[in-house]
């Protein structure tokens, strides 16, 4: 299980991951060909099926709360992860025009896909999450003034 980059080889995306699940494709109107191209060109994460169970090898989409292998898209503005299916519901035209970021509300929402995060980046994210949880637990309820 090496971590070798497969440079020079065409990206391997199985055909079933080039389109979202029926529940999304029925609801959102989007250009399926453009989507397929974006995934093959690695501009969007493949539409892998999210899993309910969290795992150190998966990344959670904060919108649908499902866990995905292979890394998620990230917003250019605030670097928040989002799975391709949720992205399509936010920006069905895959264009930033008139779309604001679902996280920070900045206009012209765009995402990028950079592949799965490195083990180090994942460990750091997990650590930050743990710290955030711990401090949230420690924090006393704000005193009610009146
Ligand atoms: Zn999602
Ligand atoms: Zn944002």
Instruction: Please give the distance, rounded to the nearest whole angstrom, from the Cα atom of residue 8 to the centre of ligand 2.
Output: 33
Instruction: Please give the distance, rounded to the nearest whole angstrom, from the Cα atom of residue 132 to the centre of ligand 1.
Output: 22
Rg (CA), the chain: 17
pLDDT surpassing 90 at residue 23: no
pLDDT of the residue at 145? 64
Instruction: Please give the distance, rounded to the nearest whole angstrom, from the Cα atom of residue 135 to the centre of ligand 2.
Output: 24
pTM (two decimals): 0.77
Q: Considering only CA atoms, which of 64, 77, 63, 61 is closest in space to residue 109?
A: 77
pLDDT of the residue at 25? 78
Kindly report, residue by residue over 27-75, the tens digit of the pLDDT: 767 889 999 999 999 999 999 999 999 988 899 999 999 999 989 999 9
Report the chain's mean pLDDT, rounded to a whole number.
86
Instruction: Please give the distance, rounded to the nearest whole angstrom, from the Cα atom of residue 76 to the centre of ligand 2.
Output: 7
pLDDT of the residue at 111? 97
Instruction: Please give the distance, rounded to the nearest whole angstrom, from the Cα atom of residue 140 to the centre of ligand 1.
Output: 32
3-state helix, strand, coil in the chain (%, to 5): 30, 10, 60
């Amino acid at each position: 299980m090496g971590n070798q980059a497969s440079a020079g080889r065409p990206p391997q995306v199985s055909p079933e991951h080039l389109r979202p699940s029926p529940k999304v494709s029925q609801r959102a109107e989007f250009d399926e060909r453009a989507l397929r191209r974006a995934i093959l060109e690695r501009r969007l994460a493949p539409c892998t099926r999210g899993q309910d169970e969290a795992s150190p090898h998966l990344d959670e989409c904060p919108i649908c709360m499902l866990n995905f292998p292979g890394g998620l898209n990230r917003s250019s503005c605030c670097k928040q992860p989002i799975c391709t299916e949720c992205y399509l519901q936010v920006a069905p035209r895959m264009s930033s025009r008139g779309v604001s970021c679902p996280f920070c509300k900045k206009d012209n929402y765009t995402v990028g896909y950079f592949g799965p995060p490195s083990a180090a980046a994942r460990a750091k994210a997990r650590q930050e999450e743990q710290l955030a949880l711990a401090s949230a637990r420690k924090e006393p309820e704000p005193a009610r003034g009146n």
